[in-house]
Chain A
Amino acid sequence: MSRVAIAGHGTYGFGSDTNGRSDTEMVLEASMAALESANLSHEEVDSIIYTGQDAYDGSAISDGQRVSAAGGYRKPFMRIQNGGGAAIHQAVAKINSGKADVVSIVAADSVYADPRVLSWTSHEALYHRTIGQNNDQSFGLLATVHQEERGVSDETLAQVAEKNYRAAANNDVAHRQEAYSVEDVLEADRVVGPLTELMLRPNSFGAAVCVLVSESFAEERGNARSWITGTGLATGKYWYRDMSGRLEQPTLQQAASTAFEEADVTIDDVDAAEIAAYSPTLEMTSYEAIGLCAEGESSSLIEDGVTAPNGSFPVNLSGGPLATSPPNAGGIYRAIAASQVIEGDLGDGSAERVLLADNDMHLGEPGRTDAVMVLEGGAA
């Protein structure tokens, strides 16, 4: 497979509000910043992919309202609803198929709505909406299984959150930038089961844009910030009906396996990861799914500080979704953060290869699509 480069990226935010900016203004600012960092003009962009969901945008066909700000007029413009990772995966396919040399991937979050209503409005109506299945309850069900089957303590769950907040304190675009302690996390308001408010993600606002270019284009322009050398995508069934298998995250396993194979590496060749984990349980079981440790042994990684910001395999040097979680822009932002780890702008600058794992779990787990990418450094 030819390599695809992340040539540029830009963000607006993130925070608990848009600071008075509209979606169009945020998309425009982030897009212009991304193009500038890629040393590209708007005319050179071949195609735009927008990722977002109508319910979180407050309007139907919401991509149509962002075409102009994204620089998409007179260009192929498509929309993907199930997450930034899937959109990046599609952009890589578009470039590798020869359909484009330069693709801009765009997302924004600007509308405030009660997430506890919205999350189950987006779910299957027939059984679950009336019963109250929503994102937080989905994470609570999983946390209970995790504790009962793997013996994970509340303190360990809190340690996962603490190390993410420690990282976010050094990230000036993170939504939550306070380095909460384990005690802070445990003493926060309880929401579902063992999970407190600080073990669950905030609803963040802002915008993120990432510009991907083909290998030949990057070599010609010398503008590669990092390289996507492997990609994987996998979709699974309605897992909350099958609790026993959920801790194994088979779709993440499958997507990671495909990405590793394509990049011709194993987890041993990877230095760090950015993982879309919307609760401590999901982060810990992700360690096991990507092969960082054996099944049921993720607690020791936390206790030994392996995945902490100063550990030997830091996970979520951006702070991860517990610190910053825009529903539409989260996947793109995590790709940007993964690239920043390669570029030396997050962490100690020593990572040469980073795993990016995104999914559509911010709504809970009515279904599941995982997108995994391997990012590497190296000159264009």
Chain B
Amino acid sequence: MADELDPSVQTDAINAEYKYPFHWDLDFSLNIGEDNRKFFEGMEEKRILGKKCPDCGATFVPPQAVCVECYVETDEWVEVEQRGVVESYTACFFEFEGLPEPPYITAAIRVADSDICMLHFIDGIEYEDHDELVEKLHKGTEVEPVWADEREGHIRDIKHWEPVEK
């Protein structure tokens, strides 16, 4: 049992109400597989990689081992243009553990001509409140990645995406 638990799980009234706190503290390790390894190696080199379906030609960024429509193995690697469009976004006003101080924006971004989206942060937009943000960001907004100076083969090697200046 941990000595101190997060107050969000209401452990402050433990014995008085016969609530017994407990804590899962398990470390896990995951083999991410060949496709993801190659994708993250590309990120370290500021490259965005995807894979194509041999049957329908769909491109998947991030790469997928299987085409979700054809159920065949994807087999062709492609380096895609570092541009994306916002398919949807949401401004988060509540603090989630391990995430930026709110408000911040999470978006579903379709990179290059990918058939699927990837999730990431949007930043570089000045806004005061939600209404102003809604005026500045839309489905279809073009965005580009802002890379971290120090990269380690991780999705956060892209610090965030921001609207393309025209």
Q: Using CB atoms and an 8 Å cutoff, list the residues of chain A in contact with chain B.
A: 20, 58, 112-114, 116-117, 120, 125-128, 130-134, 136-137, 140-145, 148-149, 189-194, 237-238, 240-244
Contacts and interface: CB of A to CB of B under 8 A. Distances in A.
Given A126-B32, A241-B108, A243-B88, A133 B93 contact: no
B47 interface: no
A114 B88 contact: no
A192 B87 contact: no
Interface stretch (B49-57, B76-84, B114-122, B142-150): B114-122
Given A141-B107, A144-B139, A243-B139, 4 more contacts: A114-B9, A130-B156, A148-B88, A241-B118
B18 A132 contact: no
B62 A127 contact: yes
Label chain A's interface by main secondary structure. helix
A193 B90 contact: yes
8 contacts: A114-B8, A116-B96, A144-B89, A148-B139, A189-B94, A192-B90, A241-B117, A241-B118
Contacts of B92: 132, 136-137, 140, 191-192
A131 B89 contact: no
Contacts of B121: 131
Contacts, number: 107
B106 A145 contact: no
B138 A112 contact: no
Of the candidates A112, A131, A242, the one having the most CB atoms from chain B within 10 angstroms of its own CB is A131
Contacts of B120: 131
Contact of A244 (B32, B87, B107, B130): B87
A131 B106 CA distance: 8
Nearest to B95: A116
B1 interface: no
Contacts of A141: 88-90, 106-108
A132 B115 CA distance: 22
Contact of A134 (B10, B96, B117): B96
B6 interface: yes
Contact of B24 (A58, A126, A133): A58
B68 A131 contact: no
B88 A145 contact: yes
Contacts of B90: 137, 140-141, 143-144, 192-193
4 nearest interchain CB pairs? Answer: A140-B90, A241-B116, A243-B87, A193-B90
A20 B17 contact: yes
Nearest to A131: B119
Nearest to A143: B90
A131 to B, nearest CB: 5
